[in-house]
Amino acid sequence: MMATIGTPTSRVDGRAKVTGAAKYAAEFTAPDLVYGVVVNSTMPRGRIVSIDTSRALAVAGVIDVLTHKNRVKMAEKDDDYRDDVAPENGAPFRPLYDDKVHFNYQPVALVVAEDEDTARFAATLVAIDYQAESFTTDLQARREQAIKVDKPVKPRGDAVKALAGAAVRHDAEYFIPAEYHNPMELYGATAVWHHGGKLTVYDKTQGVQNVQRYVCSVFGLKSEDVQVISPFVGGAFGSGLRPQYEVALATMAALKLQRSVRVVLSRAQMYGLCYRPATIERLALGAKQDGALAALTHEAIAMTSQHEAFSRNDIGWGDVLYRSETSRATHRLAKLDVPTPGDMRAPGAATGVYALECAMDELAVALKMDPVELRLRCYSDEDQDKGLPFSSKQLKECYRQAANAFGWPKRSPEPRAMRDGSELVGWGMASGVWEALQMPFASRIVLTANGHVEVSSAASDIGTGTYTIVAQVAADMLGVDIADVTVKLGDSTLPQAQVEGGSWTAASISHAIVNAADDIRARLLLIALDMPDSSLKELKRDEVTLVDGAIASIADPGRKIAISDVMRHGGLERIEKERGSDFAEDDKHAHNTHSAIFAEVKVDEELGIIRVTRVVNAVAAGRILNTKTAASQIMGGVVWGIGMALHEEALIDHRFGRIMNANIAEYHVPVNADVHDIKVIFVEEQDAVINRMGIKGVGEIGIVGVAAAIANAVYHATGKRVRDLPITLDKVVS
């Protein structure tokens, strides 16, 4: 048997997904299943004066129309219902709670019918009168009224004074529009009603136990009466960290009608959910003639809703990446009449590092210095805000390997100096950084006498490959073939798990598995030592390992006993152990992943059409559990970075507070023709401090810095600096 950790192992759930055997939230059925279709508001702020449901109720097959007037009882105070990732003093939006309208596309009614087509038709017949109130959805219009929010980023020195006295200065504003997740699977929930009032809820979510707690708190249900299941998720990217309103509506209808109910949102309705907030980023850099930073200031102004103050860390990444004598960072929020924003892949870093890395490129131009050389001269070996060294940081090696693979030394530094026929060629680069987080997870392992292993946890797999790395770690820790491992995930009745996000799941669940496997090994050794003429006599727990279906001495592999013989001697059919991840607190180091991104663009000189023809992304993220699925994560992040740089933008008509391109036809995302050569390099990085396996996680780091590298390449190709995303042809040729 070969060890699988660190190898390019194919997904263990791949066959189920490509054959259709994998079932998603809206594919589970029940004998009495009925269908709910949401009616959304058509104005951004005000009150509902009246709702006329008579025409809808007259349609054959319509069972009920739920509104704020006839819904079941819900929690009245925000403190009575929160979710695990709610902003401070925030709580998930309560659909159909009262007559207030907070944003356009807010759900205001639910039509329930015997079939979905009937419900969809009847929903068009619900007539609603509103009392409109003044509103604004424009971040620029509210920027002066933005409120400051506390962020754990401390000022260092007098950055304003240092900036004024710097030999070379750069000061500019960058803009990132609101972006939407657009996962392939639509948001949907199937609430199955059982006799006695118990519910099984199938929901598209990144955290089944989070949804269970939310549903129970909102509707006053007992935890033992609600089971939430989400075995497979067709993409989420952060949109499923918080419970979305479809699960509340499906549960509400099931409780009221005492029938099983399915609610699936349309693609357009998903634009009324969370999103990456539009953000204004202002960067000012002051440098000495040799490139050393004397000052760094970063101000972010982001949009949020009127009812929640959502924000993430846009402003602290400069202190992590670059050494600067002084720094100052502030974060402000503009409250608008919109849904609450949410986490989207690398929240805060994708936006903040975009602005930072574009500013560093502009500083390099002002200094007439190579962008890589500038970053090396400003390189920081510690998180300056925390005053802590990194547990590991191989960013210099990322620069070296990515630059060599890309061919960076051949770059002509002057803009518009490189051509390929009628196209201008541009080369740009950027740094990437993300947090290396780990959270308390638990796993249960069952080892049977015939050598089969079952691993279970409430953790989710949102398409990142969690099923596979769980199987890999369990197989290697228990000395069995990966084909003999069954993995169960995404069920609220399984051992505790946090939501899947922040790139923390791989490290967190792997250590829970290792700890449970340790306990199984200890139990097997205890039995083995009791066996007559045991070859493992006098060996201790840390002196044996499980390999090839046997418990064996690490120092002398010939001293071994088959696990089946050990369990037979102990009279055991199975051994079951459940353990948590048990991470030790480390307040002496900063924990981060790092990357270096090099991008090539080709720009049609006359038309301004931009193609990203090559990207090299070198990543230092500790021990890589599965080089195949991890590389896919980085590639996916690069593709999203291409979208962020060149395509994605929610267009809001501020006269109506409504998104005009709430569909995938007009909300542009990269397609196959937009994606060319992507090379992923994993830089070897040993980290004995962060955790016993040296795992960091790769879900987020793949997108960070990609948009900046492309934007910098566009400048190099054209000589035109575009600071507001996306970079469209009109901005290049104007």
Residue among 246, 281, 299, 700 flagged as catalytic:
700
Query: What's the CA gap between 705 and 356, in Å, rounded?
Result: 9
Please report, in angstroms and rounded to a whole number, the separation of the first and last CA atoms in the chain. 62
- Residue closest to 711 by CA, chosen among 275, 172, 331: 172
Of how many residues is the chain composed? Answer: 734
Cβ neighbours, 10 Å, residue 71: 20
Q: How far apart are CA 730 and CA 388, in angstroms?
A: 45
Side by side, which strands form the sheet with 188-193? 62-66, 107-113, 34-40, 261-264, 188-193, 199-203, 226-229
Residue 491 CB burial class (10 angstroms; 0-12, 13-18, ≥19): buried
**Burial (0-12, 13-18, 19+ Cβ within 10 Å), 149:** middle
127: tokens are 């007539």
Measure the CA–CA gap between 734 and 719, rounded to whole angstroms. Answer: 12
Structure tokens at 488: 């169960």
CA nearest neighbour of 132 among 57, 43, 196: 43
CB contact at 8 A, 391 and 562: no
CA-CA distance, 309 to 88, in Å (whole number)? 7
- Would residue 700 show up in a list of annotated catalytic residues for this protein? yes
Dihedral of the alpha carbons of 420, 425, 431, 437, in degrees to the nearest 10 = -70
Name residue 472's amino acid. Q
DSSP-derived secondary structure for 432-466: EEEE------EEEEEEETTS-EEEE-S---SSSSH
d(CA 157, CA 160): 9
Answer yes or no: are the C-beta atoms of 500 and 571 closer than 8 Å: no
Nearest to 348 by CA among 380, 320, 323: 320
The partner residues of 110 in beta bridges, in order of sequence, read 38, 66
Our measurement of the distance from residue 259's CA atom to the centroid of its chain's CA atoms, rounded to an integer in Å, reads: 34
Cα 638 → chain centroid: 14
Q: Which two tokens stand for residue 496?
A: 């505790």
Q: Which residues are catalytic?
A: 700
